[in-house]
Amino acid sequence: MERSFEFVQRATTRIVIGQGVEARLGPAIQALHPDGIVLVHDASLDAMAQRIAASIGARGVLAVGGGEACKRVDMVDNLARELSRLGATRGTALVVLGGGTLTDLAGFTGSIFMRGIRCVFCPTTTLAICD
The single-letter DSSP state of residue 115 is G
Average pLDDT over the chain, rounded to whole? 91
CA distances from 104 to 18, 31, 86, 111 (A): 23, 24, 21, 11
Tens digits of per-residue pLDDT, 85-123?
Answer: 999 999 999 999 999 999 999 999 999 999 889 999 999
Do the Cβ atoms of 72 and 120 come closer than 8 Å? no
